[in-house]
Structure 1
């Protein structure tokens, strides 16, 4: 590779102020020409866009889940290779691609023997995800989590109260691949990258409708999920889909690859067989 750029958000989850220097050292150790960018958080999105537009061979992202998802979406299937290193709190996409490993070890492997891998994904209302999406009232808990992570405990409590009040009160309606209309409390969409029910090369999303009707159902679902048996829970309906429509009585809360989002009351979903090219070590 002629040029590799690295974008580092030192304020993110598990990155730290020494990360840019460590990244520069790893580039030198592997004899790779590259540049490390460490923008302020407020300039992160602009820096990311400028780096990808400059068309390097690969862009390594050391930041949180939102930045990793944004980088993959900006690059697309024709852009530079993307390596989302685990630098956030949940690290959903990095863990799906590389397992639960320190970012420096992943970076070394990518520099030494990384190769391209086309990654499929899903799309909700024009926004991409590459691991999983949750649509419906359970997604409101993510906004409470974000407020707590920012130290806004008053806001976290208010959002948690709102999420509890919304539970079981605003079911979604949806149609998947032209099948009959369904209703559920939440709809979860999982990509082939992480779904244990799909082959890695399958051209579809796994769709799971969650429809608990009481607190007891929620408890049982959580218990089954902890045992890895959530698909067998009677409140869960599982299938596959390539396209679909989702609608509700108001705006639809969602989580895309661990990051909260909100959509209009009517939104479309579809499978994207070629979403972006990842830089990964050999399997």
Structure 2
């Protein structure tokens, strides 16, 4: 492996401009050549033709979940390797592939040992979620969360009031998942091989709603309230109108009745964890 294409998003959790430049120096120290670079969303993501023309061996993603998702989907028809570095807030994919190692340690470890593995994902219509899909009225907190992350207080109060009102409204109903409570405020769907793990949050009183909203703003919302977990192979939304759905944090409108299933990618993601 020699030629890299480096995709970053300086607006993500921890992939600052300074850290991106430090990684460029580490690549050079390990005789890795960056033949192309994308600063997303300023630049358009590369496609298969661009990578093949540049003779790219691996694409390096140093960004948050949303950018990583967009890049993986854009390169679905390219068969090269993909290296995911922890550049977001929670970095769940990077942890699954490399443990708690930092970007510099991951690059060093890649020279000593690595393998290409497949990743599981949640699929619904044309959308994919590699970390998780969030359904339900509590997904409305995403707008307030993004304002907090960006440090933009203007409009935050209005976003919180809107999310609060939506969370107290009609909940989400999911078909195909026996045991999941009807009318939950949020359902987190995560991939597990070719099946799905579902966690439903059912918050009914104002104190639970406030706690749910706070945990949305600060990150770890699933751990805060009563959670019911079930497994399924295929589920769908029973509500009679499209619902807000967050695919790795990116909002989409998901029509009712669309099958939500689990699937796996090809073995193209670099893992530095020992298989022993």
TM-score by length of 1: 0.78
Deviations along 1:55-86, one digit per CA (max 9) or x if unpaired, are 73211111222111112223338632212211
Mapped to 1, the partners of 2:38 and 2:77 lie a distance apart of 25
Q: Give the gaps of 5 or more residues in structure 2.
A: 214-219
Q: Does 1:253 align with 2:252?
A: no
Mapped to 2, the partners of 1:8 and 1:156 lie a distance apart of 27
Distance of aligned partners of 1:164 and 1:58 in 2 relative to their CA distance in 1, 3 Å threshold: same
Name 2:183's counterpart in structure 1: 184
Distance of aligned partners of 1:153 and 1:214 in 2 relative to their CA distance in 1, 3 Å threshold: same
1:221 shift after superposition: 8.6
Coordinate RMSD, CA, aligned: 3.2
Moved over 6 A (4+): 219-222
Name 1:125's counterpart in structure 2: 125
Q: Which moved more, 1:95-104 or 1:210-219?
A: 210-219
- 2:100 aligned counterpart, secondary structure: coil
Q: Does 1:155 align with 2:155?
A: yes
Name 2:3's counterpart in structure 1: 3
- 2:268 aligned counterpart, secondary structure: strand
Mapped to 2, the partners of 1:249 and 1:160 lie a distance apart of 25
Name 2:115's counterpart in structure 1: 115
Name 1:105's counterpart in structure 2: 105
- 1:73 aligned counterpart, secondary structure: helix
1:84-233 aligned within 5 A: 84-176=84-176, 183-185=182-184, 186-192=186-192, 202-215=193-206
Deviations along 1:91-144, one digit per CA (max 9) or x if unpaired, are 232233323332222233234422201111111332111122210111111211
- 1:79 aligned counterpart, secondary structure: coil
Q: Is the 8 A contact 1:243 1:270 kept in 2?
A: yes
1:206 shift after superposition: 0.7
Q: Give the gaps of 5 or more residues in structure 1.
A: 193-201, 223-227
1:40-79 aligned within 5 A: 41-43=41-43, 45-47=44-46, 56-76=56-76, 79=79
- 1:128 aligned counterpart, secondary structure: strand
- 1:15 aligned counterpart, secondary structure: coil
Q: Does 1:269 align with 2:268?
A: no
TM-score by length of 2: 0.79
Equivalent residue pairs, number: 263
Q: Is the 8 A contact 1:123 1:271 kept in 2?
A: yes
